[in-house]
Amino acid sequence: MKTEHQTTHPTNCLYSPHNNRTKLFRIVALCGAALVAGIVTYGCSTNEKHDQHATPPPPPMTALPPALPAPASEEAKLAWFKDAKFGLFIHWGLYSIPAGDWNGKRVPGIGEWIMHNAPIPVTQYEQLAKQFDPEQFDAEKWVQMAEDSGMKYIVITSKHHDGFAMYHSHVSPYNIYDATPFHRDPIRELAEACARHHMKFGFYYSQSQDWHEPGGMGNTNDFGPDAIKDTDGAYDKYLREKAEPQVAELLQNYGPVCLIWFDTARMMNVNGRGEAFMDLVHKYQPACLIDGRLGVAGDYVSTGDNTIPNESQNGKYWETPATVNHTWGFRKDDTDWKSPGDIVFKLVDIVSKGGNYLLNVGPTSRGVVPQECQSNLLSVGRWLKSYGEVVYGAGPSPFGEEFGQFVKTKDHNGKEVFLARNDWRCTTKPGKLYFTLFNIPRDGMIDLPDFKNEITRAYIVGEPQTPVLIDRTNDVRVAHVTRNGPNAIAYPICLEISGDKVEK
C-alpha cells in the first residue's frame, strides 16, 4: 500500500520513509549479509585468504550505558558543558563525495550545501549513497584525535539538510546502513568509542530543512515553495513522520546524548513544532542539552556560524560553532586550515568571554580527517596538555578592556566599528587570574589592568617554581616575561591574588 507521502514523492525516487517493500528487501539483504559475515568471520577453518580489498567487518557491538538521570537544576545540567569549553564538531555526509565539484565544475559555497547550490535534483543526489563506502572510517581514531586535541565533547551530523541519515535509522531507509555498500552504523561505532574514552557525545540534527522529503524545508527546486508546505500540512507530516521519530531514535539507541544541535529553525515557533522536539529530549534524555537553534528556547545560546562575540555575554551560556577552514563538509579545494596559534587564540578568547568553542572538521568520503588539519589540532592539544588549566573550568575575564573598543568609524549599517585588541586574554579560577599573552613586546613588559587585589604569587602556568617578576612603574603593575616563552603559540601566566573577587 502506498502512503500519501510516497504519492507526493517523485516516482523514481529511491528512498522514502516507511517504504514497506524496501523494508522487506532490507530484511532479506540483511539475512544474506549476516550469513556472509558469519562465514568470513567464523566459518573458515583453513587459512584461506579472502578478498583483501573487502571492507573490514565492523567492530563487534558493545553495550552502551543508559541515558543519564535528570540533573537537579538547569545549572547542574550545564555544569559539564561549562567546564568542557572545547568540542569537536563533525560534518560528514554524502556531500563529502562530490567534495565541492559537480559535473566537473566547481560549485562555490560551503561543501554540505552542494545539493542546494549546484543545484542537484533529489533523484540524482540520492544516487551518491550507492558509492558511499568510507572504508578507512575508524571511530576509535576520530575519538582519539578529539581527545589528543584537548576536546571534551563531540557533536556529529546525524542528518544534515540533505536529509541523509548517517546512522541506521528505522524511520527512513535513506540512511548509511541501508542505502550504502558500507552497511555500517558509524554513529553507533562512535557512540561506543566515546563511551570507552569517557568522551561526551551529541548529535547535530537538521530539524527544519530536509531536501530529500517533499514536506521538509529548503528544497524548493524539487518540491516547491516552503510557504505552501508550511500551511498545507506537508511540513507537519514531515516533522511527525521523519524528523521527530528520527530524533527519538537517536535519543533511545545511542547511549547518553550530551546535547542535540538543531539548526536553521524555520517555522518552528508555531503549532508546538519546536516544543515537540524539546519534549522528546526531556522524555528520553533529561540530561541532554538543547542548543540555541531549535526555534524555541534551548539550554544555551548558539552564536552565528563562525561568530565570536566582541565582549562577554550577560545571562545565558553560549557556544560558537566554527570551521577549521572555510567549509563544514569536506571540500577538496579548501586546505586553508586555521593555524594552531589561531585556534588557541580563538579558544582562549571565547573562554575569556564566557563561552564554548565547537570546532568543526569535515572528513573525506573515505572516512579520514585530512592530515594537515589533524596535525594542527594535535598542536593545539599539546598546548592544552601543558596549559589546559587556563581553559577547562575557567571563568570569564573580570576586565574587558583587552577585547578592544568601538571606534568612531561607522559600518554600512551606520553602526560603530569594533576595533579588536588581541594582545592578551584573561581567564579566572577562585584566587587566580590567568593572563594568556599573544603579543609580547621586545622588553617583555606587560602592563597589567588596574585592580586592587594583592598579587601573592606570579608564575608561568604549570611551573609554579619559575616566578614571574611583577613590579610597579608609574602606578601600573607590570609583569616581566621573556619573549618567545616556552611555547611560541601563547604564553600563559598565573597570578595568585588575595580574595576570590577582583576589586577594581
- Minimum distance between the CB of residue 184 and ligand H79, rounded to whole angstroms? 23
- Minimum distance between the CB of residue 264 and ligand H79, rounded to whole angstroms? 5
Nearest-angstrom CA–CA distance, 197 and 355: 24
Which residue, 87 or 173, is less far from ligand H79 as judged by CB?
87
- Minimum distance between the CB of residue 334 and ligand H79, rounded to whole angstroms? 14
Q: What is the helix (H) or strand (E) element at residue 204, kind and residue range?
A: strand 200-205
Nearest-angstrom CA–CA distance, 444 and 483: 6
Residues 297-316 that bind ligand H79 (CB under 6 A): 305
Which residue, 112 or 178, is less far from ligand H79 as judged by CB?
112
Is residue 328 a contact residue for ligand H79 (CB under 6 A)?
yes
Nearest-angstrom CA–CA distance, 440 and 453: 24
- Find out whether 356 and 303 touch, Cβ atoms under 8 Å: no
Which residue, 91 or 425, is less far from ligand H79 as judged by CB?
91
Which residue, 117 or 386, is less far from ligand H79 as judged by CB?
117
- Minimum distance between the CB of residue 217 and ligand H79, rounded to whole angstroms? 11
Residue of 10, 109, 341, 393 interacting with ligand H79 (CB under 6 A) = 109
Q: Name the one range near ligand H79 by CB under 6 A: 17-25, 109-117, 171-179, 436-444.
A: 109-117
Is residue 112 a contact residue for ligand H79 (CB under 6 A)?
yes
CA angle 281, 283, 288 (to 5 degrees): 40
Q: Name the one range near ligand H79 by CB under 6 A: 60-68, 112-120, 233-241, 427-435.
A: 112-120
- Minimum distance between the CB of residue 189 and ligand H79, rounded to whole angstroms? 22
**Phi/psi of residue 88, nearest 5 degrees:** -105, 125
Q: Name the one range near ligand H79 by CB under 6 A: 5-13, 111-119, 246-254, 375-383.
A: 111-119
- Minimum distance between the CB of residue 54 and ligand H79, rounded to whole angstroms? 33
Residue of 100, 292, 298, 321 interacting with ligand H79 (CB under 6 A) = 321
The alpha-carbon radius of gyration of the chain (Å, integer) is 25
- Minimum distance between the CB of residue 209 and ligand H79, rounded to whole angstroms? 7
- Minimum distance between the CB of residue 333 and ligand H79, rounded to whole angstroms? 15
Residues 232-271 that bind ligand H79 (CB under 6 A): 263-264
- Find out whether 129 and 164 touch, Cβ atoms under 8 Å: yes
Q: Where are the beta strands (DSSP E) in 401-462?
A: 404-410, 416-420, 424-429, 432-437, 445-447, 455-460
- Minimum distance between the CB of residue 109 and ligand H79, rounded to whole angstroms? 4
For cell 531514535, the residue is 249
Residues 374-400 as b/e (b if ≥16 CB within 10 A, e otherwise) read bebbebbbebbebbbbbbbebbbbbbe
3-class secondary structure, 384: helix
HSE-CB at 232 with a 13 A cutoff on CA atoms is 13
Is residue 221 a contact residue for ligand H79 (CB under 6 A)?
no
Q: What is the helix (H) or strand (E) element at residue 230, kind and residue range?
A: helix 226-231
Residue of 81, 95, 113, 318 interacting with ligand H79 (CB under 6 A) = 113
Which residue, 327 or 352, is less far from ligand H79 as judged by CB?
327
Nearest-angstrom CA–CA distance, 503 and 457: 17
Residues 75-94 that bind ligand H79 (CB under 6 A): 91
Is residue 163 a contact residue for ligand H79 (CB under 6 A)?
no
Q: Name the one range near ligand H79 by CB under 6 A: 110-118, 227-235, 433-441, 446-454.
A: 110-118
- Alpha carbon 121 to its chain centroid, in Å, reads 28
- Minimum distance between the CB of residue 153 and ligand H79, rounded to whole angstroms? 15
The three three-digit cell numbers of residue 2, written as one number: 502506498
Nearest-angstrom CA–CA distance, 334 and 111: 9
Footprint of ligand H79 (CB under 6 A): 91, 109-110, 112-113, 116-117, 263-264, 305, 321, 328
